[in-house]
């Protein structure tokens, strides 16, 4: 194989790559935060909601988890355009990602909630706490602490999946790469560079989320043991 | 002398299985009642009816002036007056000992952070664990965790305390410290119902011992009934224990 | 129902679905062939082997699948071959699946209770015999629910092949939408087809897992 690798394009195009990486981080962060909140609400609906609400939440989760993100993105983006609503690509991408990540988050947190021993609920009830107080002070803190490694992995997967939003013309990192490739025709080199950037982003994101976890879970910070 | 708890012909079933067939008993204010019996006799179920963890299907149940046999009882209000300690302690693992104790007073009684902390220090002193306020449950022994559980319930300033086999899950050398704590509470005049296997403790501390069998009150008396059981069932039960 | 989609469109969609299934199978089979040795290598005594395989897995798991698709696509032409997009997509899915399946199977191997390893050793079996007669059968049983669960991921993720223009279901749906402008109908049909493939597998995997827990 005789191929002359040529990474010289980096000198001219690194601002585009940096901008693309920034968009990826922005997109992912917004989707993660909102998706986490919506996903938690869904999990609570699944576990504590009345029959219809619980079934609706379950149905939503099943549909989202058994269809590809790309199809969801196309359905929303092209669908909104066909309805005449001109939603900017970035917003459409965020909505799609939030819908997607909330479904996976809901499953993970539901598993966490169901793994809490029943005695915890009984004790909290017998201390005269209301349902909402039990949820926020006893159930959710324990559930989230138990499953946060799975949550972190899921969020990183979502950051990587945001790469497909280039297909609906969001100018994130993969979109920037495609643009540069069509000008320089150095496809192989470009995607190697972009792969490295994604790897770095994964590592940095994991670090950031683990730091948040350390700050939030004081017991774990002090004792170092799992719940 | 008023009764703080009164069971009158209480019936309770789980589906088809009748667990409490006809339970009648009274707990005078300030007294200690021990419920003893085999597993399946209904003693834990009877206890759990008192604070509404179980509902009854027949008869009357009066607790702290409330009528639990009538629908619409405010359980949250009841549980501010009735504390319970469980066999598996059920401390909140993600909170420190002090946070475990101050959680409910702050949320349900509106105490400020400082007021709740004072209460916590008081009850921790009562159970002999003042120095463990900032520890997490997993750093404590079983006996210490159970005493924290007692302190957590005491912080609510209840009129009545329920103890559901609180020493059954402990190693023998740790039961002593918990029983001492309970005895001290009894001497201070706290109304209590204890479900327990500790016969000698029941004999020493309880004003009334209730032996349950097949979902009814089979025999009652004070400590002397162990030495002279009237029914063959109790004789068997006590005989096996020796 | 007037969907304004012609029979030709429906046939095209089904054809796309067919390619999705083919690509999924390629990914699963390829991923197994590459992933199984990796899983076994991950529990080998050689620290160098363990660490280099761990690096491979971390690499694959740390980059988006669309990027992997692009790398395979451009990589193949860089090597001087002129092959259809199916090959690039198949290669990418194989690499992707091999990393995740290797991790699942390594986890299954390590969750066989230690007592089993010790018992096999005490029966004076060689390492090879221990693996094939005692450990692997148990590991396989443990690994079936998560493996089926991952098969669902494979089917869904074949949709990333759109980026290299491979005519699987999602690409086909987009093509049809470009000419008919009926996005809700077209993409709902595509979604329904994916759901029909994935949901039974998800459901089956969950049932197996419950059975395993009870055993």
pLDDT of A49 strictly over 80: yes
Q: What is the dihedral of CA A142, A42, B74, B50, to 10 degrees?
A: -50
What end-to-end distance do the CA atoms of chain B give, in Å?
Answer: 36
Q: What is residue C190's predicted lDDT score, i.e. its pLDDT?
A: 96
Residue B206: pLDDT band with limits 50, 70, 90: very high
Which residues in chain A touch residue C213, judged by CB atoms under 8 angstroms apart? none
More confident residue, B40 or A92: A92
pLDDT given for residue B242 in this prediction = 47
Neighbours of chain A (3+ CB pairs under 8 A): B, C
How does the average pLDDT of chain A come out, rounded? 93
Q: Give the minimum alpha-carbon distance from A213 to chain B in angstroms, rounded to a whole number.
A: 13
State how far residue A97 is from chain C, nearest Cα, in angstroms. Answer: 15
- Give the residue from A95, A82, A135, A132 showing the smallest Cα distance to A112: A135
Q: In this complex, how many residue pairs, one in chain A and one in chain C, have their CB atoms less than 8 Å apart?
A: 112
Task: Please tell me if residue B152 touches chain A, with a CB cutoff of 8 Å.
Answer: yes
Domains of chain B: 3-241 (3.40.50.300)
- For all residues of chain C together, what is the average pLDDT? 92
Facing B104 at nearest CB: one of A120, A122, A129: A129
Would an 8 Å CB–CB cutoff place A66 in contact with chain C?
yes
Q: Residue A1 has what pLDDT?
A: 53
The mean of the pLDDT values for chain B is 93
Check pLDDT > 90 for residue A143: yes
d(CA C119, CA C183) in angstroms, rounded, equals 60
**Quick one: tokens of B178?**
């918990």
Question: Does the pLDDT at position B241 exceed 60?
Answer: no
Alpha carbon B57 to its chain's center = 22
Counting residues of chain C whose pLDDT is more than 90, the rounded percentage is 70
The answer, yes or no, to whether residue C1 has pLDDT greater than 50, is no
What is the mean predicted confidence (pLDDT) over B10-22? 93
Write the DSSP assignment of A77-90 as a string of letters. HHHHHHTT----HH
How many domains would you assign to chain C?
1
Nearest to B152, CA basis, from B87, B81, B88, B85 = B85
| Domains of chain A as residue ranges with CATH | 9-223 (1.10.3720.10)
Distances (CA, A) of B188 to A68, B7, B82: 66, 25, 17
pLDDT digits (tens, 9 = 90+) for B159-173: 999 999 999 999 988
How far apart are alpha carbons B59 and B61 in whole angstroms? 7
- Confidence band for C81, pLDDT divided at 50, 70 and 90: confident
CB of A186 closer than 8 Å to CB of A197: no
Q: Provide CB contacts within 8 A for C105, sequence distance 6+.
A: C35, C36, C39, C139, C143, C147
Instruction: Report the range of poorest mean pLDDT among A180-189, B47-56, C66-75.
Output: A180-189
Asked if A19 contacts A180 with a C-beta cutoff of 8 angstroms, the reply is no
CB pairs under 8 A between A and B: 68
pLDDT value of residue B2: 87
Inform me whether the C-beta atom of residue C190 falls under 8 Å from chain A C-beta atoms. yes
Write the ipTM: 0.91
Where is average pLDDT lowest: A14-18, A102-106, C40-44, C79-83? C79-83
Domain CATH number, residue C57 = 1.10.3720.10
Interatomic CA distance for residues A17 and B207, integer angstroms = 81
Characterise A116 by phi-psi region: left (phi > 0), alpha (psi -120 to 50), beta (else). Answer: beta
B215 dihedral zone (left: phi>0; alpha: psi -120 to 50; beta): left
Q: Do B90 and A142 touch (CB under 8 A)?
A: no
Sequence-ordered list of residues with C-beta below 8 angstroms from that of C157, at least 6 positions apart, any chain: A68, C65, C93, C96
* Percentage, residues of chain A above pLDDT 90: 82
Interchain proximity A78–C59, CB inside 8 Å: no
C166/C85 Cα distance (integer angstroms): 5
Does position C117 have pLDDT exceeding 90, yes or no?
no
* DSSP codes joined into one string, B111-165: --HHHHHHHHHHHHHHTT-GGGTT--GGGS-HHHHHHHHHHHHHTT--SEEEEES
Contact between B155 and B123 (Cβ < 8 Å): yes
Q: What is the pLDDT of residue A162?
A: 96
Is a pLDDT exceeding 60 seen at residue C48? yes
**Which tokens is A128 given?**
């005269």
**C213 vs A118 pLDDT, higher one:** A118
CA geometry: angle A44, A45, A48, nearest 5 deg: 70
Let me know the angle formed at the C-alpha of A9 by A5 and A14, rounded to the nearest 5 degrees.
130
* Confidence class for position C143, pLDDT limits 50, 70, 90: very high
Question: Who has greater pLDDT, B235 or C4?
Answer: B235
Written as six digits, the tokens of A90 are 């970035």
**Per-residue pLDDT at C3 exceeds 70:** no
| Minimal Cβ distance to C64: which of A74, A161, A187 | A161
CB A185 within 8 A of CB B62: no
Helices marked H in chain A — which ranges? 9-48, 51-65, 69-82, 89-114, 118-126, 131-134, 140-161, 173-184, 187-216, 218-223
Domain that holds residue C17: 7-214
Residues in chain A with CB shorter than 8 Å from the CB of B156 are: 127-128
For A:144-163, CB contacts with B below 8 A are: 145
- Token reading at C210: 């419950």
Above 90 in pLDDT, residue B229? Answer: no
A133: chain B residues, CB-CB within 8 Å: 107-108
Residues 97-126 of A with CB under 8 A from B: 117, 119-120, 122-126
Indicate if the pLDDT at residue C41 is higher than 50. Answer: yes
pLDDT tens sequence across A96-119: 999 999 999 999 999 999 999 999
The pLDDT tens digits of the residues spanning B124-139 come to: 999 999 999 999 999 9
């Amino acid at each position: 194989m005789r191929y002359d690798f040529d990474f010289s394009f980096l000198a001219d195009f690194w601002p585009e790559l940096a901008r693309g990486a920034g968009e990826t981080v922005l997109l992912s962060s917004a989707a993660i935060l909102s998706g986490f909140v919506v996903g938690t609400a869904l999990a609570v609906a699944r576990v504590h909601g009345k029959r219809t609400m619980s079934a609706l939440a379950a149905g939503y989760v099943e549909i989202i988890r058994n269809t590809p993100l790309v199809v969801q993105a196309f359905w929303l983006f092209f669908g909104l355009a066909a309805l005449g609503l001109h939603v900017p690509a970035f917003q459409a991408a965020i909505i799609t990602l939030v819908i997607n990540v909330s479904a996976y988050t809901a499953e993970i947190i539901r598993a966490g909630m169901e793994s809490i021993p029943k005695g915890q609920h009984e004790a909290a009830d017998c201390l005269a706490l209301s349902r909402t107080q039990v949820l926020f002070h006893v159930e959710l803190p324990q559930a989230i602490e138990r499953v946060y490694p799975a949550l972190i992995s899921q969020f990183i997967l979502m950051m990587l999946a945001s790469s497909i939003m280039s297909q609906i013309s969001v100018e994130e990192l993969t979109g920037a790469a495609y643009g540069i490739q069509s000008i320089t025709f150095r496809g192989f080199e470009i995607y190697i560079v972009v792969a490295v950037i994604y790897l770095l982003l994964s590592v940095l994101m994991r670090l950031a989320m683990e730091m948040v976890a350390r700050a939030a879970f004081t017991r774990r910070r002090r004792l170092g043991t799992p719940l | 002398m008023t009764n703080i708890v009164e069971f009158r012909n209480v019936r309770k079933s789980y589906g088809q299985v009748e667990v409490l067939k006809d339970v009648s008993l009274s707990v005078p204010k300030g007294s200690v009642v021990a419920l003893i019996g085999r597993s399946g006799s209904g003693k834990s179920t009877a206890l759990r009816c008192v604070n509404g963890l179980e509902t009854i299907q027949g008869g009357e149940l009066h607790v702290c002036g409330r009528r639990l046999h009538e629908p619409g009882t405010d359980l949250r209000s009841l549980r501010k007056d009735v504390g319970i300690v469980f066999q598996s302690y059920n401390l909140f693992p993600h909170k420190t000992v002090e946070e475990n104790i101050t959680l409910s007073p702050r949320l349900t009684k509106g105490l400020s952070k400082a007021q709740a902390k004072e209460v916590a220090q008081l009850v921790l002193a009562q159970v002999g664990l003042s120095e463990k306020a900032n520890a997490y449950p997993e750093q404590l022994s079983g006996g210490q965790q159970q005493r924290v559980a007692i302190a957590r319930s005491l912080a609510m300033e209840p009129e009545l305390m329920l103890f559901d086999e609180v020493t059954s899950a402990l190693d023998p050398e740790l039961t002593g410290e918990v029983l001492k704590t309970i005895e001290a509470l009894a001497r201070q005049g706290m109304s209590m119902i204890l479900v327990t296997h500790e016969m000698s403790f029941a004999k020493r501390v309880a004003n009334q011992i209730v032996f349950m069998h097949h979902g009814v009150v089979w025999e009652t008396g004070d400590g002397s009934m162990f030495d002279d059981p009237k029914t063959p069932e109790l004789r068997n039960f006590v005989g096996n224990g020796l | 129902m007037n969907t304004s989609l012609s029979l030709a469109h429906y046939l095209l969609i089904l054809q796309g679905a067919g390619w999705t299934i083919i690509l999924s199978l390629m990914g699963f089979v390829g991923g197994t062939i590459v992933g199984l040795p990796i899983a076994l290598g991950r529990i080998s005594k050689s620290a160098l082997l363990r660490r280099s395989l761990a690096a491979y897995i971390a690499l694959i798991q740390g980059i988006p699948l669309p990027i992997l698709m692009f790398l395979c696509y451009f990589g193949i032409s860089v090597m001087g071959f002129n092959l259809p997009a199916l090959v690039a997509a198949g290669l990418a899915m194989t690499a992707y699946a091999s990393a995740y399946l290797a991790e699942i199977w390594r986890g299954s191997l390590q969750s066989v209770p230690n007592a089993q390893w010790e018992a096999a050793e005490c029966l004076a079996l060689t390492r090879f015999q221990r693996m094939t007669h005692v450990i692997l059968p148990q590991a396989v049983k443990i690994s079936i629910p998560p493996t089926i669960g991952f098969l669902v991921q494979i089917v869904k993720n074949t949709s990333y092949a759109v980026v290299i223009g491979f005519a699987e279901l999602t690409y086909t749906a987009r093509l049809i939408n470009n000419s008919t402008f009926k996005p809700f109908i077209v993409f709902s049909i595509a979604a329904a087809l994916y759901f029909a493939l994935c949901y039974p597998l998800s459901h089956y995997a969950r049932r197996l897992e419950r059975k395993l827990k009870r055993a």
